[in-house]
Amino acid sequence: MKILLLGGSSFLGRAYAAEALARGHQVTTFNRGRSAGDLPGVEAVRGDRDSAGDLARLVDGRRWDAVVDTSAQQPAQAALAAGLLRERAGHYTVVSSVHAFADWPARVIDEDSPRHPCPADTPPGQPPSTALKAGCERAVLTGFGAERSLVLNSGLLIGPHENGGRLPWWLERMARGGRVLAPGDPQRTMQVIDVRDFAAFGLDLLTAGTAGRFITTAPPGRLSFGEWLETCRAVAGTADTELVWVADGPLLAEGPDRVDPWSELPLWAPDLPEMAGTWLADTGRAEAAGLHCRPFTETARDTWEWLRTRGPAEDTDAEGRKGRPGAPVRQGIEPGKEQRLLAAFG
């Protein structure tokens, strides 16, 4: 098949490109060439998806069997691409998110749960919002047609080349050794999916010409937060790496050392009503369609190997946290704050 990837160079797009090439498909990528290099073997077309002129140049003289859109953040972007590609491709996959559902993360969701009421014709340049993903979905379904469109509502993606910094942060924290603040309940389950499994499932559906919607993440109850941290410790920890579990309450107490859920201690989702459905999305439809998820141990090991071999891709900021050079640090607790909390509650 001839497949067009809108994006195609970093993390999820890269995983799609690698899997498609391994299956013998012809792959075109369309991106600005800023996030990462394209994989050898793809036809790389440079351009800005916000530019009608760049998109017109992309489609000039080209046709594809299918499109995979991993980079739409604004409904106007999705609408422009779907409109121009409607007569140039037979199938359109748009990667959305569980964020598109109005009830998530407070409630359990399935594919029929209500989505945020963001319209397909939302003007461009909107400030970042979880509702925009719902608008992107509507733009594709409107512009390309529901009978030829596939919506994948992604859960939390992890794995090699991760650009969200969540699994890498925990692995690198374990590698620094010492007492590690482990938040909340170790028995609380979580839902994360290896980016390579997501791409493989998406390509299975694409090659079958499947239309519709699938919540695409690991089945609920498959992995606990305790298993997550113990695996990270086993994979990357030192001889003195020790997990110190602290309950939700002290970490959420108001004060200068209150910990922000999800970001300061990545993927920590405390037992709060507004987060009750975080790790309980219904994946029955995807499982019935053939979704396969590899063991987390394999993902952690492969991600750690990538982190150790990728070269000097990170700098340390003044607080000892890590991030891409020139980019804001998005994940991780400040080391001094972690030590204060361990001294107080550990």
Average pLDDT over residues 297-323: 69
For residues 36-44, average pLDDT: 94
Give the model confidence (pLDDT) of 119-177 as tens digits. 999 999 999 998 999 999 999 999 999 999 999 999 999 999 999 899 999 999 999 99
75 pLDDT higher than 90: yes
pLDDT for the residue numbered 240: 97
Query: Tokens 């991030």 correspond to what residue?
Result: 323
pLDDT at 310 over 90: no
pLDDT at 331 over 50: yes
Start-to-end C-alpha separation, the chain:
56
Q: What per-residue confidence (pLDDT) applies to 311?
A: 55
Q: Do the beta carbons of residue 66 and residue 1 sit within 8 Å?
A: yes
Indicate the pLDDT class of residue 220, thresholds 50, 70 and 90: very high
Confidence of residue 68 (pLDDT cuts 50, 70, 90): very high
pLDDT at 322 over 60: no
pLDDT, residue 161, reads: 95
For residue 152, which phi and psi values (nearest 5 degrees)? -110, 110
Closest Cα partner for 286 from 222, 216, 233?
216
pLDDT of residue 327: 39
For residues 85-109, give the mean pLDDT: 97
Q: Please state the rounded mean pLDDT for residues 276-295.
A: 98
Predicted confidence at residue 169, as pLDDT, reads: 97
pTM for this one?
Answer: 0.93
The per-residue pLDDT of the chain, averaged, comes to: 93
What residues does each domain of the chain span?
2-154, 166-190+220-276+295-345
Closest CA to 306 of 162, 151, 154: 162
Under 8 Å between Cβ of 303 and 167? yes
**Could you tell me what percent of the chain has a pLDDT over 70?**
94
pLDDT at residue 226, as a whole number: 98
Q: How far apart are CA 76 and CA 52, in angstroms?
A: 11
Q: For residue 93, is pLDDT > 80?
A: yes
**CATH, range 166-190+220-276+295-345:** 3.90.25
The whole-number pLDDT of residue 329 equals 41
Residue 34's pLDDT is 85
* Highest CATH level, class, for 2-154: alpha beta
Helical axes 132-144 vs 75-85, angle rounded to 10°: 20
DSSP-assigned letters across all residues of 115-129: B----TTPPS-PPP-
pLDDT at 289 over 90: yes
| Tokens, residue 252 | 């959420």
Q: Which residue has the higher pLDDT, 187 or 326?
A: 187
* pLDDT for residue 36: 83
Task: Label residue 68 left, alpha or beta by phi (over 0 means left) and psi (-120 to 50 means alpha).
Answer: beta
pLDDT of 41 higher than 50: yes
